[in-house]
A and B are shown apart, each in its own frame.
Chain A
Amino acid sequence: AQTVTQSQPEMSVQEAETVTLSCTYDTSENNYYLFWYKQPPSRQMILVIRQEAYKQQNATENRFSVNFQKAAKSFSLKISDSQLGDTAMYFCALDNYGQNFVFGPGTRLSVLP
């Protein structure tokens, strides 16, 4: 069975600082996708970044980057230069090709002015 764990229910960071959100997962598959989704107060799910497991290079999208450690089954998200608009719930998710998405429990991030 696939599982996704986010061990930090809540985090806060000062504006302009850097924060890292943790995610670990478990799967028996070798090929899969990993995602970070953001859910702001509007509750619209927004894709932040995705990583293909067969790619060793860590994905980067502007201020967002991941540290993908396949052997350790770890997939952390780093947000640089945090902005007030980054305040949201962040969900880590795993998709085994052909199976369904599994979402982690989420981390509530608050960016403080």
Chain B
Amino acid sequence: GAVVSQHPSRVICKSGTSVKIECRSLDFQATTMFWYRQFPKQSLMLMATSNEGSKATYEQGVEKDKFLINHASLTLSTLTVTSAHPEDSSFYICSATVHGEREKLFFGSGTQLSVL
């Protein structure tokens, strides 16, 4: 199956710094990528949807200035957590799909962010 690479897998940062997470589709062109947040023992919560070349669509309650999403190419989307605080600590997962093939959704391996 298709591969989505997400890195880093784990990052620890100090409060107030910014962290960038990358999500790459390795063997297909991802027209749409999704970013999720998952708290321990909970389900995935969609944060935003990004389409290549356009601005991301954020879910209600997600601060777009806090979580910057860029999808500049068909193989790369990035999530930047700006001025991170301890409450931003969470597991972040990306997924990617091709336009018109929504039944094929491929997930990255996730990034555990810990903000001290």
Whether, in the assembled complex, A84 has its beta carbon less than 8 Å from a beta carbon of chain B, the answer is no
**Pairwise interchain contact B49-A100, C-beta atoms closer than 8 A:** yes
Give the distance in Å from the alpha carbon of A45 to the alpha carbon of B110 in the complex.
9
In the assembled complex, how far is the CB of residue A35 from the closest CB belonging to chain B, in whole angstroms? Answer: 8
Binding site for A on B (CB under 8 A): 34, 38, 41-44, 46, 49, 59, 91, 93, 95, 102-103, 105, 107, 109-110
Of the candidate stretches A13-21, A73-81, A101-109, the one touching chain B is A101-109
Q: Which of A49-101 contact B (CB under 8 A)?
A: 50, 52, 91, 95, 97-98, 100-101
**Pairwise interchain contact A91-B91, C-beta atoms closer than 8 A:** no
Known A43-B91, A45-B93, A100-B34; contact A33-B43, beta-carbon cutoff 8 A: no
Known A101-B46, A105-B43; contact A44-B105, beta-carbon cutoff 8 A: no
In the assembled complex, how far is the CB of residue B105 from the closest CB belonging to chain A, in whole angstroms? Answer: 7
Binding site for B on A (CB under 8 A): 33, 35, 42-45, 47, 50, 52, 91, 95, 97-98, 100-106, 108
**Pairwise interchain contact B49-A44, C-beta atoms closer than 8 A:** no
Enumerate chain B residues within 8 angstroms of A35, measured Cβ to Cβ.
105
**Pairwise interchain contact A43-B110, C-beta atoms closer than 8 A:** yes
**Pairwise interchain contact A106-B43, C-beta atoms closer than 8 A:** yes
**Pairwise interchain contact B46-A100, C-beta atoms closer than 8 A:** yes
Q: Out of B41, B44, B102, B103, name the residue touching A91 (CB < 8 Å).
A: B44
**Pairwise interchain contact A33-B34, C-beta atoms closer than 8 A:** no
Q: Out of B38, B41, B42, B102, name the residue touching A33 (CB < 8 Å).
A: B102
Enumerate chain B residues within 8 angstroms of A42, measured Cβ to Cβ.
109
